[in-house]
Amino acid sequence: MFTRLPLALWAEAIATTVYHQNRLPNQSIGRSTPCESLNNKKPSITYIRPSQTKCFVHLPVENRLPETKLISQAIEGYLFAYSSSDKIYRLYIPSQHKVTQTRQIH
């Protein structure tokens, strides 16, 4: 699953796997999820996407060069983690060798 990530990002990849596991039903705790048994509330999973999904991150206008209407307004990245806040994705941008956080991915 995480075969193409740099070694420095493996800790976050493992944290993402744990994040997913905590939102799956478990027989040992009565077919509820670990998050549900801890918080007494069923977690929302509508925003969860498969790891290493190819996506595009929108570049804000202030980060683009002036007079570049025909140049791409998004960069390619791969979803691999979630932020501590719900619905914020952590994306690895291979062309820039960095991780960025965003709410909006396409």
* CATH at 16: 2.30.30
> Is 31 domain-assigned?
yes
Domain enclosing residue 13, as ranges: 7-61+71-102
pLDDT in tens, the chain (106 residues): 456 667 888 888 888 888 888 888 888 888 888 988 888 888 878 777 777 788 888 777 776 677 767 667 788 888 878 776 767 888 888 888 888 888 877 7
Answer whether residue 17 is part of any domain: yes
Q: Is residue 81 assigned to a domain?
A: yes
Does any domain span residue 80?
yes
Instruction: Report the alpha-carbon distance of residue 43 to residue 95 in Å, rounded.
Output: 34
pLDDT at 68: 67
Residue 26 forms part of a structural domain: yes
The helices-and-strands tally (H runs, E runs) of the chain is 2, 4
- Per-residue pLDDT, 6: 79
Query: What are residue 78's DSSP bridge partners?
Result: 54, 92
Instruction: Tell me whether residue 1 is in a domain.
Output: no
Domain count, the chain: 1
Residue pair 90/80 in contact (Cβ under 8 Å)? The answer is: yes
Read off the tokens for 15.
């944290």
pLDDT at 104: 76
Residue 2 included in any domain: no
Nearest to 86 by CA among 23, 9, 37, 26: 23
User: In this predicted structure, what is the pLDDT of residue 1?
Assistant: 47
